[in-house]
């Protein structure tokens, strides 16, 4: 069947099961929008900024496990996606972004709205394409989705010149993809797995260090089964929140710069670390020379380049976490070794329990000022822990990680690697589109929310009932915290004295707005806001002096925590 390039693209998306595309039109992609007009299989959501569109595709992917899709035009439309691409790349999120491009003959001629998005995006995409011939388009679309979602997931970009969209070709979507040199290894080597388990069972102070890879590989059940079989304590990275039930007695909390005392001390005193789908980020390791000084390290990851990248590893295992964990479980399930091991490590668990009791996550309550941690606790209480929580970046992000317990994977959405302010609201919208029956809450700061607050109009237009809770402290809180601690309290350019009236702003966009300024108003306002139909923005005026603790100063070892 002969079709033009735009029709081929839209039909390929439909045939691959894409139900929604987040995008923003422009001259170079008008033919695609014409092909989308009236299409009943692929729904398009008109965003208010291309960065917001990419974050929506990202939030859709994180919440659902399906590949998110974004469509924008050439030039500034394309370059506006770069922050979203880098965000997804750092956190290994499967999205496919299609950009329009000037006609092939004009590429390199400084044509109107021309940008070399393939060159620009190369460092922050898993792969990218410049489509030069219409007959290649269907194959490239198929490959883009395959690459984005297999192996270590990541963003893929397809740049399509206007003449490729206009020209015609036969529609032929490949059923299978075979790419020379791209063969992700899903099966962990059995002998390496056996060696890892022998090493683990020989130690007495083990810790499982779980990252976002557990969630990406849908291996949370296997992680819980192995940890409980052997009674091995579990800590997670920020990206791993929800990978292991937060209410499980074996859970130590998040580790790293703002991790719990128990998790950081556990890593520092462990004699074995089983690292699963984590990359030993500097926010996790602190001073790398003093990270886990007594521990042998087993590192499992589907990406071989992540292993040995930041820390020496004793036993590397390349493979899918679900496969490797199942093999590990088979080696100990029902065996005497497992029961004996639980007893062998009892003193270690007792030590961890003591640390948890003497140094819990806490804050100083106040009757006169609303503490942001108190707000997060009330959000957990009002939602019953059943919401998907998206965050912006900064103090709000850390309090959301510390004081809301995540029991299931894909319920905590945050820009962990890049730390992208403005991520939360559009990501929450994408998650809500993917999971329409679930309450989705964006925990925001007054600075970060203003970076993409225009997407509230998108939520209103499509009746996406996201709830935004702003922890309003009148400043760029996390940067201000660093200035307080390390720059003698000189708050250079971090105070935001001219904050808009968020309630009126919400109403201006057509959403509902609520505000709490007193402690005893918080729970009632949250209940009212969460129960209201449609998108809601809740402005809560919190103590501006409150800081995030524990905190490991940059470059310090994990044992040098600043505590409340």
- CA torsion 361-367-368-372 (nearest 10°) is 30
- Taking CA atoms, 377 is separated from 221, 385, 522, 524, in Å, by 26, 10, 11, 13
What element of type H or E holds 272? Answer: strand 272-276
50 is catalytic: yes
Residue that the structure tokens 């009212």 belong to: 528
272 and 205 Cβ atoms separated by less than 8 Å? yes
Q: Quick one: which of 202, 207, 216 has its CA closest to 297?
A: 207
222 is catalytic: no
- Catalytic-role residue among 126, 162, 296, 327: 162
Q: What are phi and psi of 231, to 5 degrees?
A: 55, 45
- Catalytic-role residue among 112, 187, 221, 308: 112
Angle in degrees, 0-180, between the axes of helices 424-434 and 50-64, rounded to the nearest 10: 50
Give CA–CA dist 232/253, Å, rounded.
Answer: 14
- CA torsion 57-80-139-319 (nearest 10°) is -60
Tokens in use for 484? 């307080």
Beta strands in 277-387 (DSSP E): 296-301, 315-318
533 is catalytic: no
The helix/strand/coil state of 345 is: coil
Instruction: State the CB neighbour count (10 A cutoff) for residue 368.
Output: 7
- Catalytic-role residue among 7, 50, 114, 143: 50
- Catalytic-role residue among 3, 90, 478, 561: 478
Residue that the structure tokens 């899918």 belong to: 320
Give CA–CA dist 212/280, Å, rounded.
Answer: 12
Give CA–CA dist 480/492, Å, rounded.
Answer: 8
Residue that the structure tokens 């792969």 belong to: 127
Tokens in use for 370? 């609303």
**Gap between the terminal Cα atoms of the chain:** 68
Instruction: State the CB neighbour count (10 A cutoff) for residue 308.
Output: 13
478 is catalytic: yes
Give CA–CA dist 271/380, Å, rounded.
Answer: 35
Q: Quick one: which of 448, 418, 425, 451 has its CA closest to 86?
A: 418
Instruction: State the CB neighbour count (10 A cutoff) for residue 80.
Output: 19
The helix/strand/coil state of 315 is: strand
Tokens in use for 519? 């402690």
135 is catalytic: no
Q: Quick one: which of 51, 16, 22 has its CA closest to 36?
A: 22
Q: Is 127 exposed, middle or buried (0-12, 13-18, 19+ CB in 10 A)?
A: middle
Beta strands in 277-350 (DSSP E): 296-301, 315-318
The helix/strand/coil state of 321 is: helix
440 and 387 Cβ atoms separated by less than 8 Å? yes
The residues assigned a catalytic role are: 50, 112-113, 162, 478
């Amino acid at each position: 069947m002969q079709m033009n390039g735009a029709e081929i693209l839209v039909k390929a998306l439909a045939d691959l099961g894409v139900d929604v595309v987040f995008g923003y039109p422009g001259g170079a992609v008008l033919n695609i929008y014409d092909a989308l007009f009236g299409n009943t299989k692929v729904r398009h959501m008109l965003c208010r900024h291309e960065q917001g569109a990419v974050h929506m595709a990202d939030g859709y992917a994180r919440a659902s496990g399906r590949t998110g899709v974004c469509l924008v035009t050439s030039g500034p439309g394309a370059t506006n996606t770069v922050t979203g691409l880098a965000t997804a790349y750092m956190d290994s999120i499967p999205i496919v972004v299609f950009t329009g491009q000037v006609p092939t003959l004009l590429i390199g001629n400084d044509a109107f709205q021309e940008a070399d998005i393939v060159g620009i995006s190369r460092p922050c995409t898993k792969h990218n394409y410049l489509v030069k011939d219409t007959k290649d388009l269907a194959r490239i679309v198929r490959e883009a989705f395959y690459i984005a979602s297999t192996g270590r997931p990541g963003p893929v970009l397809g740049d399509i010149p206007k003449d490729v969209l206009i020209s015609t070709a036969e529609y032929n979507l490949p059923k299978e993809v075979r790419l020379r040199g791209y063969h992700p290894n899903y099966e962990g080597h059995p002998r390496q797995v056996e060696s890892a388990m022998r090493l683990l069972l020989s130690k007495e102070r083990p810790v499982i260090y779980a990252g976002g890879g557990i969630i990406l590989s849908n291996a949370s059940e296997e992680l819980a089964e192995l940890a409980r079989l052997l009674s091995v304590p579990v800590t997670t990275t920020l990206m791993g929140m929800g990978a292991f039930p937060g209410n499980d007695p074996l859970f130590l909390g998040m580790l790293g710069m703002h991790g719990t005392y128990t998790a950081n001390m556990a890593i520092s005193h462990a004699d074995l670390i089983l690292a699963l789908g984590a990359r030993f980020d500097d926010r996790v390791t602190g001073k790398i020379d003093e990270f886990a000084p007594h521990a042998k390290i087993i590192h499992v990851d589907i990406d071989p380049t992540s292993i040995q990248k930041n820390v020496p590893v004793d036993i590397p295992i390349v493979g899918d976490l679900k496969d490797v964990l199942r093999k590990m479980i088979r080696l100990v399930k029902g065996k005497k070794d497992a029961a004996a091991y639980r007893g062998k490590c009892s003193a270690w668990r007792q030590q961890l329990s003591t640390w948890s009791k003497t140094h819990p996550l806490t804050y100083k309550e106040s009757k006169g000022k609303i503490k942001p941690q108190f707000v997060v606790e009330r959000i957990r209480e009002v939602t019953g822990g059943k919401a998907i929580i998206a965050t912006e970046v900064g103090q709000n992000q850390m309090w959301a990680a510390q004081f809301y317990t995540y029991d299931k994977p894909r319920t905590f959405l945050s820009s962990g690697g890049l730390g992208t302010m403005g991520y939360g609201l559009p990501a929450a919208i994408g998650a809500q589109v993917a999971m329409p029956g679930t309450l989705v809450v964006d925990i925001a700061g007054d600075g970060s929310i203003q970076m993409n607050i225009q997407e509230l109009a998108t939520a209103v237009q499509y009746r996406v009932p996201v709830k935004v809770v702003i922890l309003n402290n009148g400043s760029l809180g996390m940067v201000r915290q660093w200035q307080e601690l390390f720059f003698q309290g000189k708050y250079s350019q971090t105070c935001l004295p001219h904050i808009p009236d968020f309630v009126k702003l919400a109403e201006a966009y057509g959403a509902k707005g609520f505000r709490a300024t007193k402690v005893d108003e918080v729970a009632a306002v949250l209940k009212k806001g969460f129960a209201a139909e449609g998108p809601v923005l809740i402005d809560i005026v919190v103590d501006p002096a409150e800081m995030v603790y524990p905190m490991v100063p940059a470059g310090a070892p994990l044992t040098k925590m600043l505590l409340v």
